[in-house]
Structures are given as structure tokens and as C-alpha cells.
Amino acid sequence: MTLVAAVQMVSTPRVDENIATARRLVAQAAAAGAKLVLLPEYWPIMGMSDGDKVSHAEALGKGPIQDFMAQAAREHGIWLLGGTLPLASDDPSKVINTTLVYDPEGRHVGRYDKIHLFGFTRGSESYNESKTIVPGKQVGTVDTPLGKVGMSVCYDLRFPELYRAMGPLTLIVVPAAFTYTTGQAHWEVLLRARAIENQCYVLAAAQGGEHANGRRTWGHSMLIDPWGEVKARLAEGEGVVLGDVDRVYLDSVRESLPALKHRTM
């Protein structure tokens, strides 16, 4: 078995504050024995406006956000999946919402750019990520000692075909900043569905609370097993969710109910 951790944050508009919080929570997870740690979406910055993250965009391989992630992975000897950070794009008015993966030596070994961009309007509540984000185009997976990990971000959770394109997985990771409205309605049922239909573990790291910009995020970071059972959860506020990924149990689920082998299309 391998202990994994999801970090839940209530990120602020200040990158230095968020790095300090992430440093403390990653250290907490590592001290508990986690070998793979996942940060939430937008962990380095939840700005007062959607455009604030553009001014903090980093070129790949350069900048304080990436320096922190590489250093933390190396210091604690963990696999660190950096939620999402704003990477510079070819459009100076937009960023790429990117998950970067670092191995225990602190090397950058994987990347996934969020493909599906969130759009939602209900009354006075409105979001349109396409105004400030360039969508990704490539499915993202990374091979780790616990097995193949499939990467997705927040709104991707609503598109099951993305996960099928990854092939058989040991673990799906979902860094997210689900709104309170949509999270309350759909977050857990979608996470459990992805675990059940792909017969793998799902680790979700969320933003969870009231932010300085007035936005409220749902939280409920959790680990779900291949049978769809929630093994660990944190409702709101910052903290760490810990749980084991058990390859023996995963194999037993697939052996008793070989749904992945029964696919005909």
C-alpha cells in the first residue's frame, strides 16, 4: 500500500502567503508518511479578479511557484502534483492552467494543461474561464511507483471520455476549485462515478472556504477507492486528507467485476 495525500486550501490573492501555506501542509502530509501529495487548483493565487493570475504567470521552468514545488518534492522525497499554476501562454492576456509533476528528486517529470474550461451562470453568480485561460489539448498521465496516474482538473470531471482516453489507471487526481453551488450538487457523485467506472482510486484536492474575492468554494477533498467508497474526507477549511492506495484491493475489484475487459466500444 502507498499513502497519498490531498491538500485542501483557501487560497488568497497573495502568492507568497499561498506558498507558505502549501509549504506547511505539504510538510504535514510528508511527516504523516505520504509518498504522493496533490495540491488544489489555483493553489498559488485566487485573485480579486480572474485576470489577476495573468500577472503571476510563469514561463515553464522559471519562477517562485515552480521553484517551491521542485524544492518541496526534493526536501520531502515525495511525488508532488502541483494542483494548477498559471503558466505563460502565447496570448499575453491569458494563461495555461497547468498541473506539473515533480518526482522525489525534485525533477519536473509530467504536465497536464486543463482541457475543459468552466462556464456557469445562475443569477448573479457567473464564471467564464475562457476569458483568461487557453485550453489544453493533450491527455496527461504519469508513471509513478504506485502505478499509472491520470491527471485532470476540476471541470474535466464532467467529461468521462477524458478518463477513458487515459487507459487503465491506478489513480486519478482531480485538483479543483468547485463552486459551492455546483460542488454541493455534483462534486461527490461525479468523483465516485469516475472511480467506479474506471475501477481505480480517485484523489481530489479542493479549495474549500470563503475567499478574499467573495467566492465560496465547496471543499470536500477526498480519497475514493475503486468500489466507489469514500475513504477519507475534509469538508471545509485548510488541511490534509490521507489514505492508502492498495494495489491488491484494486486488482481484486477488477478481477471480481472485470468491467474494463467487457468494454465493446
Residues with catalytic roles: 41, 114, 154
What own/partner pairs with CB < 8 Å and gap ≥ 24 does 232-238 have?
A: 234/6, 234/8, 234/208, 235/208, 236/208, 236/209, 237/8, 237/10, 237/208, 237/209, 238/7, 238/8, 238/9, 238/10, 238/21, 238/25, 238/208, 238/209
- What's the gap between Cα 28 and its chain centre? 18
Closest Cα partner for 7 from 17, 15, 24, 16? 24
Contact residues for 27 (Cβ-Cβ < 8 A; gap 6+): 72, 76
Closest Cα partner for 49 from 126, 164, 148? 126
Task: Report how far residue 167's alpha carbon sits from residue 157's, in angstroms, rounded to the nearest whole number.
Answer: 16
Label residue 26 exposed, middle or buried (CB < 10 Å: 0-12, 13-18, 19+). buried
Closest Cα partner for 171 from 110, 236, 224? 224
Q: Are 79 and 101 within 8 A, CB to CB?
A: yes
Over its C-alpha atoms, the chain yields an Rg (Å, rounded) of 17
